Structure 1
Amino acid sequence: MFWRMAGLSTASPVETILDKDNYTLEELLDEDEIIQECKALNGRLINFLRERVQVEQLLRYIVEEAPEDAEKNRTFKFPFIACEIFTCEVDIILKTLVEDEELMHLLFSFLEPNHSHITLLAGYFSKVVICLMLRKTVPFMNYVQAHQEIFRQMVDLIGITSIMEVLIRLIGADEHIYTNYMDAMQWLEDTEVLEMIVDKLSSSDCPEVHANAAETLCAITRYAPPGISAKISSPSFIGRLFRHALEDSRPRSVLIHSLSVCISLLDPKRSSSSPYHMYRGQLTGGPSISANPEMVEGMLESLGDLLKLLDTSSAENILETTYGKLQPPLGKHRLKIVEFISILLAIGSEAAEKELIRLGAIQRILDLFFEYTFNNFLHHHVENIVVSCLESKKPVLIDHLLSDCKLVDKLLTAEKQSILATDTHKPTVPTEGRSPPRIGNIGHITRISNKLVNLGNNIADIQAYLQENTEWAEWHTNVLLKRNAVENVYQWACGRPTALHDRNRDSDDDDFRDRDYDVAALANNLSQAFRYGIYSNDDNEEVWFLPLLLLLICINSCILQF
């Protein structure tokens, strides 16, 4: 037990078992308090569990599947308790395991191809291995270095997420381990584990394998030591990645996850596992992204083949939706290509900008923006692309966007034709027999237009182009300014708090702190609500709630002022 007081505590069931002349490991594992006793470092219990025989049996519960006719304790409880005993991080028990090569063989026998790899035991195995990696780093890494076939076995099982997590830490994507045990980890740079992982994109058709292989590579780009990071960003590795991604026979998941790796290489801080990113933070002038020029050039070699996949003219599949049908749907792979291009523009690479202009990539992506008017994920990425071009202040990009791509003309045309067109040859077609809905990208059109106006005040090229367009000036005055006034929630006076100052904000926290609450108006509205029976006040005992609520509102208002 964690504590004992004479006369108050009863004997621990574990102590009762230990007092017996003959007891077994199974009897102890069947007691619910065994984990607490391990954490409390019960000397008699630890001395029993540290014995080699007991450690071996605990390992067998973890790595060997129970027979079909086994009891539930053997199938579920004993493996769980055995794993928890190891992860209690009792040094003397871990030492017995890591210093005995046969026991380590038994532990890693779980990875053998002819072994059963059920998810439950895989989770227990990974927890024990990670515990050894963290607490017994040097002897553990020495064992792995002497048995490097472990890498191939783990890569073969990379579709199991718990095995993937072990592999990520083992490669060096753990800052704590690498920083403190650099000598023990240095040899990893000479292995071919990266090549094994990327080749899983070609050798397997399982989407889970593709996703976990990409996640492993993305983790390496974010946290791995310099030697491995240099290898994964080399042009040869990038070429190998794109060869697998662009093979015609491969599933689309290979392309999607390969581009996730490229995005993570270009911007390591970007979360690759999420399909949707907080675009507002990306539009507010965050820290600039820098990328290895050789790595970028390696990606540009395959850019032309990548852009061909944005063509939707030859696709025949149709997706029915609530507003109509998509013929064809945009698809995750095209969306990922657009996201990849948005990151390419964000890094400020002159070579990438020239190649994107030469291939007409920005123009094609803008066309997709107006063809797929209900795909908000696409709209966010396109907005990022437009903002990157405008905020770069580079005349080549600005002129290409405004003159060659005719951005302003397309914005104005979309505003004039804000109802979804019934043209059956377009990718987005409204439902027959129903009134066509309003297009779904008006909000992004408004944001892009406001960005043009704001940047035009500081960038002469943008201002000159907008002033020359008389149609834009008329639309800006008669439509955009009025829309901004209507959509400014801080000026609404419909019972909601109003703001003292009207300013554009990118942080909800700033909005919250600077709001000015009209306490008197709120109190008056609340009093009238009770007076006219809007809220039930049948129970007289609840009347006290009104003044208390008003007091809380006053206190809250005072706090917000500071």
Structure 2
Amino acid sequence: MFWKFDLHTTSHIDTLLEKEDVTLTEVMDEDDVLQECKAQNHKLVDFLLRPQCMEDLVTFITQEPSTDVEEKVKYKYPNISCELLTSDVSQINDRLGEDEKLLMKLYSFLQNEPPLNPLLASFFSKVLSILIGRKPEQIVDFLRKQEDFVDLMIKHIGTSAIMDLLLRMLTCIEPQQLRQDVLNWLNEEKVIQRLVEMIQPSQDEDRHSNASQSLCEIIRLSRDQMFQVQGSSEPDPLLSTLEKQETVEQLLSNIFDKEKNESAIVSVIQILLTLFETRRPAFEGHMECPPGMSHPSFSVNHSILEAVRPRLKDFHQLLLEPPKKNMMKTTWGVLDPPVGNTRLNVVRLVASLLQSNTHSINTELINLNTLGVILDMYFKYIWNNFLHIQVEICTAMILAMPPAPIDIQPDTEAEHVKESILIKHLFQKCQFIQRIIDAWSSNEKEQAEGGRRRGYMGHLTRIANSIVHNCDKGPNGPQIQQLISELPAEDREKWESFISGQLADTNKRNTVDLVSNNTNMKNSKAFRFVFIIPFDRISDINFSLNTNESANIALFEARCKEKIQQFEDAGSDEDDIWDEKDVTFAPEAQRRPSSGSTDSEESTDSEEEDVKRDQFEASNPSNDDRMEVDTDCDGWLGTSVASPAASAPSDCGSSKAEEEASSSEHRSITETVINGSMKETVSLTVDAKTETAVFKRFENHLHTKELRFRLMVMRVVPVPVGIL
């Protein structure tokens, strides 16, 4: 009934703006000023478009607040000013983007000395970014007129907001031709070379990180753009500059020809890794051939590899002598020295170089024995899983990828391509098999003495499985088999015993069977029911009975009578639907199949068991309203209640059960119900006149959960026939 009330309220801003001497700060103090601006309140927008107001808004986001202002409100007005200027109101965008005086005031923020205020830098970057998106021609034209723009961007690259602004210029400028013009302009200004120059030991860590991230994003954005814009006539000039051999050589010279600096080294490796990811592999160290190796389009610019190859010895030396790291105490011991970020990234670089599968690179790594050093680190640093996964990737790729092609004449020495020199080096020089067996045995010995399982054992399991897999099915299978056969007899026997014993047992433990292997459980129809089911679908419940004696028939009747009170209305004047009604068992001729089970599993064997499966059915309406019991021998407890008009044949004659039940007024029956390995003995006394039964249960190794399960099933079934 909200339309009865007038919920429209006039903003207090409208009243405030009617004052002749209202100030910008008074308006900005209003709680709903941003909402009203985004809703394009005409009075408010007209007020903000006043020249003095626009100038003040820009001033707020480009000048440091007064130091005597309380800290919690110090950046209140700069923040609100930024939000108002970026509220995407077309009139504000037009005024700001076309007024060169305002643009110069905004641009002056870059002319401050570093470091810039990071909060104000974020406001400045946000405002200029939205202008680049909304008024690209005007903003690009303005920036190109500023001769020091690129210099200032590089100067402040240590401020993340400025890095974001640079990347925004590469991604948010449309149309395509204007973007290409911007790329050409930035390339002419040598933005790539200037960013490369930032990554050297003399610069601080923030500059290293942001310059590296900028170059990485330029690579990715440029490549993505190349795939999206097919048939582009002009290549990306920034990417072309980055992929030049002299550019990569300059990067490597910055970190190797000067003092060692971990931040600079890691930043350069990040750039190299990005240059190598022309197709980003999703490989995570599994036995399968790494993605990318199966794609012919995967390739690395040859000039990059040529620049890196002479520096492999320097990267190898970093593994042996990384930048000095302080001793690190851990919960399990002392690391002196720890792995460190430098060595971890060098291993990542080796993994990427291996994926390029270049003969000259592979040969250099073998000559340096870089793989042997990496394996030494793997077994030494038993808790560093970042290292372990990279080593696993290296070994899995070596085992899975085909031999590297060699630049030879087609008619000479072609047979040399057939074998992988990396695999030969791994098995012979690095003693790959022996080290796996020794590490496994050493771990088992420590665990037997009460020690902890080593942290690399999971990866070692997958490495061993990778050897087995590639030995049987990989492209290098014959070579791997040959190398294993050439092992000393003792080592070969140990390996064969290991893969058939310890490795097989570990794989078995690691395999999770989501489906029970219990034959009785699979074949039993006792579990084919829905625990929670709407009341109007009771007729769809389908159970089976696992006994063939009449005791269960009487037991079921007794449970029905015992539970009938749950369905009665204590204060009802209606006749009791159960009064004067005999509970008997329909003859075979009056049965029909039920409407079927709702369980999806029923379809798997329903065709085979249609002849054997029976359900509880209501008797023919021409007879008394009665319930019947199916004594199917394939299940241990089951029922299906259908409409009273149904009738169908039965396998196990219930008429005999009726005769036996009426032969005497009292009869005691003892029945043992078996479900798999569990037994339950039921003692039942039936009074034929009163149609009552008293029963007792004697459990033999019967779990409480199983008993509760059976009782729950019995409680689901007894539904008054009259409401079905």
Instruction: State the 1:325 CA deviation.
Output: 1.7
Tell me if structure 2 keeps the 8 A contact 1:83–1:124: yes
Matched, 1:179 2:185: no
Tell me if structure 2 keeps the 8 A contact 1:245–1:255: yes
Tell me if structure 2 keeps the 8 A contact 1:51–1:96: no
Q: Which runs of structure 2 are paired with 1:244-393 in the superposition (5 Å)?
A: 244-267=254-277, 279=284, 285-288=290-293, 289-312=298-321, 317-393=326-402
Matched, 1:463 2:481: yes
Q: Counterparts of 2:248 and 2:193 in 1: how far apart (Å)?
A: 11
Instruction: State the 1:287 CA deviation.
Output: 3.2
Q: Give TM-score scaled by structure 1 length.
A: 0.79
Query: Which amino acid is the alignment partner of residue 399 of structure 2?
Result: L
Query: Which amino acid is the alignment partner of residue 464 of structure 2?
Result: S
Query: In structure 1, what is the equivalent of residue 438 of structure 2?
Result: 413
User: SS of the residue aligned with 1:83?
Assistant: helix
Query: In structure 1, what is the equivalent of residue 671 of structure 2?
Result: none
Tell me if structure 2 keeps the 8 A contact 1:52–1:96: no
Query: In structure 1, what is the equivalent of residue 502 of structure 2?
Result: 479
Q: 5+ residue gaps in structure 1?
A: 272-276, 422-433, 500-515, 534-542, 548-562
Deviations 1:483-502 (CA, angstroms, capped at 9, x unpaired):
1111212269699xx99xxx
Tell me if structure 2 keeps the 8 A contact 1:59–1:106: yes
Instruction: State the 1:183 CA deviation.
Output: 4.7
Query: In structure 2, what is the equivalent of residue 134 of structure 1?
Result: 133
Query: In structure 2, what is the equivalent of residue 442 of structure 1?
Result: 457
Q: Counterparts of 2:382 and 2:153 in 1: how far apart (Å)?
A: 44
Deviations 1:521-557 (CA, angstroms, capped at 9, x unpaired):
xxx9xx9559889xxxxxxxxx9xx99xxxxxxxxxx
Tell me if structure 2 keeps the 8 A contact 1:214–1:260: yes
Instruction: State the 1:59 CA deviation.
Output: 0.4
Q: Which runs of structure 2 are paired with 1:186-205 in the superposition (5 Å)?
A: 186-202=184-200, 204-205=202-203
Q: Tell me: CA distance 1:420–1:177, structure 2 relative to 1, closer, same or farther (3 Å).
A: farther
Deviations 1:194-227 (CA, angstroms, capped at 9, x unpaired):
2222222226442222111111111111013721
Q: Counterparts of 2:322 and 2:50 in 1: how far apart (Å)?
A: 70
Q: Which runs of structure 2 are paired with 1:532-547 in the superposition (5 Å)?
A: none
Query: In structure 2, what is the equivalent of residue 240 of structure 1?
Result: 250
Q: Tell me: CA distance 1:178–1:133, structure 2 relative to 1, closer, same or farther (3 Å).
A: same
Matched, 1:11 2:6: no
Query: In structure 2, what is the equivalent of residue 42 of structure 1?
Result: 41
Work out which of the two has the higher radius of gyration on C-alpha atoms and give 1 or 2: 2
Q: Which shows bigger deviation, 469-478 or 176-185?
A: 176-185
Q: Counterparts of 1:235 and 1:253 in 2: how far apart (Å)?
A: 23
Q: Tell me: CA distance 1:302–1:312, structure 2 relative to 1, closer, same or farther (3 Å).
A: closer
Query: Which amino acid is the alignment partner of residue 406 of structure 1?
Result: Q
Q: Which runs of structure 2 are paired with 1:103-252 in the superposition (5 Å)?
A: 103-114=102-113, 117-170=116-169, 172=170, 174=171, 177=174, 179=176, 181-185=178-182, 186-202=184-200, 204-224=202-222, 226-252=236-262
Deviations 1:113-142 (CA, angstroms, capped at 9, x unpaired):
347722221111111111111111111111
Q: Counterparts of 1:145 and 1:78 in 2: how far apart (Å)?
A: 31
Tell me if structure 1 keeps the 8 A contact 2:37–2:84: yes
Q: Tell me: CA distance 1:73–1:462, structure 2 relative to 1, closer, same or farther (3 Å).
A: closer
Query: In structure 1, what is the equivalent of residue 513 of structure 2?
Result: 490
Query: Which amino acid is the alignment partner of residue 219 of structure 2?
Result: T
Q: Counterparts of 1:299 and 1:178 in 2: how far apart (Å)?
A: 37
Q: Counterparts of 1:89 and 1:199 in 2: how far apart (Å)?
A: 37
Tell me if structure 1 keeps the 8 A contact 2:199–2:208: yes
Query: In structure 2, what is the equivalent of residue 95 of structure 1?
Result: 94
Q: Counterparts of 1:197 and 1:281 in 2: how far apart (Å)?
A: 37
Q: 5+ residue gaps in structure 2?
A: 226-235, 404-418, 487-491, 523-600, 602-634, 636-674, 676-702, 717-724
Q: Counterparts of 1:68 and 1:54 in 2: how far apart (Å)?
A: 23
Deviations 1:55-83 (CA, angstroms, capped at 9, x unpaired):
11100000111112236696222111111
Query: Which amino acid is the alignment partner of residue 106 of structure 2?
Result: L
Query: In structure 2, what is the equivalent of residue 540 of structure 1?
Result: none
Instruction: State the 1:466 CA deviation.
Output: 3.3
Tell me if structure 2 keeps the 8 A contact 1:198–1:213: yes
Deviations 1:88-133 (CA, angstroms, capped at 9, x unpaired):
1122212222222222121121122347722221111111111111
Query: In structure 1, what is the equivalent of residue 60 of structure 2?
Result: 61
Give the total of aligned pairs.
491
Q: Tell me: CA distance 1:28–1:282, structure 2 relative to 1, closer, same or farther (3 Å).
A: farther
Q: Counterparts of 2:441 and 2:180 in 1: how far apart (Å)?
A: 66
Q: Tell me: CA distance 1:417–1:71, structure 2 relative to 1, closer, same or farther (3 Å).
A: closer
Instruction: State the 1:451 CA deviation.
Output: 0.8
Instruction: State the 1:473 CA deviation.
Output: 1.0
Q: Counterparts of 1:472 and 1:443 in 2: how far apart (Å)?
A: 18
Q: Counterparts of 1:153 and 1:420 in 2: how far apart (Å)?
A: 62
Query: Which amino acid is the alignment partner of residue 165 of structure 1?
Result: D
Instruction: State the 1:268 CA deviation.
Output: 5.2
Q: Counterparts of 1:115 and 1:369 in 2: how far apart (Å)?
A: 43
Query: In structure 2, what is the equivalent of residue 424 of structure 1?
Result: none
Tell me if structure 1 keeps the 8 A contact 2:299–2:356: yes
Q: Tell me: CA distance 1:412–1:124, structure 2 relative to 1, closer, same or farther (3 Å).
A: same
Instruction: State the 1:480 CA deviation.
Output: 0.9
Matched, 1:404 2:403: no
Q: Which shows bigger deviation, 349-358 or 128-137?
A: 349-358
Q: Counterparts of 2:327 and 2:109 in 1: how far apart (Å)?
A: 45
Q: Give TM-score scaled by structure 2 length.
A: 0.62
User: SS of the residue aligned with 2:463?
Assistant: helix
Query: Which amino acid is the alignment partner of residue 357 of structure 2?
Result: G
Q: Tell me: CA distance 1:280–1:58, structure 2 relative to 1, closer, same or farther (3 Å).
A: farther
The sequence identity of aligned pairs, in percent, is 28
Q: Which shows bigger deviation, 261-270 or 101-110?
A: 261-270
User: SS of the residue aligned with 2:334?
Assistant: strand
Q: Counterparts of 1:283 and 1:213 in 2: how far apart (Å)?
A: 36
Tell me if structure 2 keeps the 8 A contact 1:205–1:251: no
Q: Which shows bigger deviation, 367-376 or 485-494?
A: 485-494
Structure with the higher fraction of residues in helix conformation: 1
Query: In structure 1, what is the equivalent of residue 29 of structure 2?
Result: 30
Tell me if structure 2 keeps the 8 A contact 1:14–1:31: yes
Query: In structure 2, what is the equivalent of residue 507 of structure 1?
Result: none
Tell me if structure 1 keeps the 8 A contact 2:276–2:352: yes
User: SS of the residue aligned with 1:338?
Assistant: helix
Q: Counterparts of 1:268 and 1:529 in 2: how far apart (Å)?
A: 58
Tell me if structure 2 keeps the 8 A contact 1:386–1:448: yes
Query: Which amino acid is the alignment partner of residue 97 of structure 1?
Result: L
Instruction: State the 1:45 CA deviation.
Output: 2.0
Q: Counterparts of 1:111 and 1:57 in 2: how far apart (Å)?
A: 18
Query: Which amino acid is the alignment partner of residue 230 of structure 1?
Result: S
